[in-house]
Amino acid sequence: MAGSRKSLKQLIPPVRQWHGPKTDRLVRKPGMFGLGQVPAGVVPDATTTMVCGFCSTGCGLNIHMKDGEAVGLTPSTEYPVNLGMACPKGWEALTPLQANDRATVPMMREKRGGQLEEVDWDRALVVFCERFKEVQEKHGSDSVAFLSTGQIVAEEMAFLGALTKFGMGIKHGDGNTRQCMATAVVAYKQSFGFDAPPYTYQDFEESDVIVLVGSNLCIAHPIMWQRVERNLHNPEIIVIDPRKTETAVAATQHYPIAPKSDLMFFYGLARLLLEKGYVDEEFVAKHCNDFADFQQHVAKFTAQEVEKRSGISIHQMEKLADTIGQGKRVSFWWTMGVNQGHEAVRTAQAIINIALMTGNIGRPGTGANSITGQCNAMGSRLFSNTTNLLGGHDFANQADREKVAEALAIDPAVIPEETGWAYDQIIEGIHAGKIKGLWVVATNGAHSWIHQDRYREAMDKLEFLVVQDMYATTETVAQADLLLPAACWGEKDGVFINSERRIGLVKKVAKAPGSALSDFNIFRLIAQYWGCGEMFSRWSSPEQVFRILTKVSRGQPCDISGIDGYRTLDDLGGIQWPCRESDLDGLNADNQRRLFSDGRFFHADGRAKFLFSDPVEVAEPTDDEFPFILLTGRGSSAQWHTQTRTKKSAVLRKLYPQSIYVEMHPDDAERLGIGPNDTITVLSRRSEVAATAMLTPTVQPGQLFMPMHYAKANRLTMASFDPFSRQPSYKFCAVNVTTSKPAFI
């Protein structure tokens, strides 16, 4: 194989030179092959605009260049998302690129327990292919899997999904988007016929009633909260959340429901709306199915029963129903407080049902609106080739397979006829001895996955673990047999798709350190070394792949066939899907669009569905031994997920506690003899963690809150999953508290 292999420089494509007309843009010389060089030919002191690489808001950042290097940034005042605003993470977006623990060269462990040692790319790629092929030959083709991310650009996601499933014969692959957005995906597909968040951020400014469910918008999506503050309609802001979060404090109404009582709560609310006559009967009759069955279902959820379960009084429920029912433009928004639950899909659909029955969809300031988590989770949902075939197609549909095969110029026979395992099934497959090799790309499951110790035990059971990451120090890298060093946001080109379906550009404004490569070029090299390079000969650059994806999307609800390339995206400040060629003229006048304005949904009959089920109990209720409910979530606007990047910034580190803490109600603390800042131990049936006690009335008695950003938090959480989306339920597990030191740390 070595004799016929091309050199690395031959395999990595040149970067096409391109310009945007609005401002000075980066100029790339043909012939660049991306092996860590500074972008050549950059105009000194130029400025270029691209989207941020942290959360799903998708803010536009002006990157200021000097002598070919990004030297600073400011938020773009013209970008339609953030309009000149940025959160702390956005202001510090360039800092993580300069961290001293960047992965700069491939590293390999000769044997388990040994040290990772430097190797060259040729050796790393040969070992990658040989070891994975050995595993497949020994245990079968399905014994290798991959876990991907919502953090890399869509072109790279598509390349990874196509390479693994079409080229390498890997059936099972999923992404960490499963942890944040799988619930919304399934809820939308079942209710609307396609994974279609209907809103634009302009709706925050157009509503007269804003309902936020399980969403601490002030902290998790600060720029979206700024859009709320721009609302000139003096809106009612309703927060439904067990905690008195920063957003709840700023709201006009707060309903502190008991954790995981959401489903019964919304069924009871729907019953009240029906009783009070707040139903848009004309809209429901024209555009929805199964409403009569839904009416019959919610009739049994009386206000008395809902109060008993949720803790919200009949009087409060009636006030909420009147506020929603009398609103002219009501928008409903939810995030992880809904998505990360044991019956999350039906809870999301309970919110969707209320939007449908009140006719609050398809108009400005309305919608059943799921807010995404990661910067490119929407790209992952459409183009990662994991939960669905590229472009929102179905692996099980022959016509879809043939369409995708034609767009990719491949044999339809190489496309699997069924979806592979979900994230949790892959982990359990490792424990069962069915998965023996794993490729982890740009995610840190040894920190973030629920019931963390079980995840780490799974990694130790593998025969071969490859981690592809920008840092050499993550918890998952610590268990890897092979580390592939990757470039990150700002060091490569591509697109992200944000919460409002806006496709925005990422640009190369800095060099990757050492011999680190973009994920795109790593995938291209692996295809060649594996022996399937010819299948991807047309995948010569990120922009070429983007054009392939536009072709794949044609005729789908997410049709972006009208976008001819990156320059169009640059000119317009990002574009929301769908964008057919006929849509382009309208975007020049108004670059804010929502779905369902015509009342037509994506089911075959054009109608939305009312979906519902009886509530079920949590998998791990509290008892005498474990009497507290542990909630987890975002800690501060300066922290991001596992802090792999945010902890690299000295500025951001000053904005949050450096060690793990747990919030507790003062009454519980007094009863247990716990004082402010005491070190206490939080115990679950899985592990125990020492943490600093923060006494605050923002959590209710009997509940605790622990930020997810600290690695130890997920030693406590229980591996419970929604049956439809297979998303983990991070928001509820039973724990206890003691002032004793933990048995182990």
CA distance 148 to 386: 9
Q: Are 89 and 79 in contact (CB under 8 A)?
A: no
What CATH number did the domain enclosing 480 receive? 3.40.50.740
Residue 597 lies in a domain: no
The answer on pLDDT for 135 being more than 90 is: yes
- What's this model's pTM, rounded to 2 decimal places? 0.93
Domain co-membership, 354 together with 384: no
Residue 552 lies in a domain: yes
Domain co-membership, 405 together with 341: no
Q: Are 452 and 56 in contact (CB under 8 A)?
A: no
Residue 60 lies in a domain: no
Confidence band, pLDDT 50/70/90 cuts, at residue 744: low
Domain co-membership, 363 together with 384: no
pLDDT tens for residues 118-134?
Answer: 999 999 999 999 999 99
The pLDDT assigned to 413 comes to 97
Q: Are 47 and 63 in contact (CB under 8 A)?
A: yes
Q: Is the dihedral of CA 617, 619, 624, 630 positive or negative?
A: negative
Residue with tokens 């095969």: 405
Q: Are 265 and 257 in contact (CB under 8 A)?
A: yes
The answer on pLDDT for 39 being more than 60 is: no
Domain co-membership, 534 together with 392: yes
CA distance 125 to 107: 11
What CATH number did the domain enclosing 268 receive? 3.40.228.10
What CATH number did the domain enclosing 727 receive? 2.40.40.20
Give residue 673's domain range.
628-738
Residue 224 lies in a domain: yes
Q: Which two tokens stand for residue 368?
A: 């059943």
Domain co-membership, 533 together with 558: yes
Residue 135 lies in a domain: yes
The pLDDT assigned to 17 comes to 33
The pLDDT assigned to 10 comes to 55
The answer on pLDDT for 620 being more than 50 is: yes
CA distance 35 to 508: 13
pLDDT tens for residues 209-251?
Answer: 999 999 999 999 999 999 999 999 999 999 999 999 999 999 9
Q: Are 664 and 630 in contact (CB under 8 A)?
A: no
Instruction: Compute the average pLDDT of residues 588-615.
Output: 93
The answer on pLDDT for 107 being more than 80 is: yes
Domain co-membership, 352 together with 425: no
* Pairing, β 330-334 against β 367-370: parallel
Domain co-membership, 568 together with 660: no
* Pairing, β 236-240 against β 253-255: parallel
18 vs 515, more confident: 515
Q: Which of 148-162, 528-542, 573-587 has the lowest mean pLDDT?
A: 573-587
The answer on pLDDT for 23 being more than 80 is: no
**What percent of the chain lies above the pLDDT cut of 90?**
89
Domain co-membership, 428 together with 524: yes
Angstrom CA distances, 542 to 167, 432, 507, 594, stand at 18, 38, 11, 28
Domain co-membership, 358 together with 441: no
The pLDDT assigned to 36 comes to 31
312-320 LR contacts (CB < 8 Å, sep 24+): 312/255, 312/256, 312/257, 312/265, 316/255, 317/268, 317/269, 317/272, 318/272, 319/253, 320/238, 320/253, 320/255, 320/269
| Final residue belonging to a domain, choices 370, 405, 434 | 370
Coil, helix or strand at residue 215: coil
Q: Are 484 and 522 in contact (CB under 8 A)?
A: yes
| Final residue belonging to a domain, choices 547, 572, 597 | 572
Residue 745 lies in a domain: no
Residue 7 lies in a domain: no
Confidence band, pLDDT 50/70/90 cuts, at residue 68: confident
Q: How many domains is the chain partitioned into structurally? A: 3
Domain co-membership, 198 together with 162: no
Q: Cis omega before residue 198 (within 30°)? A: no
Instruction: Compute the average pLDDT of residues 474-478.
Output: 96
Residue 72 lies in a domain: no
Instruction: Compute the average pLDDT of residues 163-171.
Output: 97
Domain co-membership, 276 together with 187: yes
The answer on pLDDT for 399 being more than 60 is: yes
| Final residue belonging to a domain, choices 313, 348, 370 | 370
The answer on pLDDT for 561 being more than 80 is: yes
Domain co-membership, 554 together with 421: yes
pLDDT tens for residues 333-369?
Answer: 999 999 999 999 999 999 999 999 999 999 999 999 9
The answer on pLDDT for 657 being more than 80 is: yes
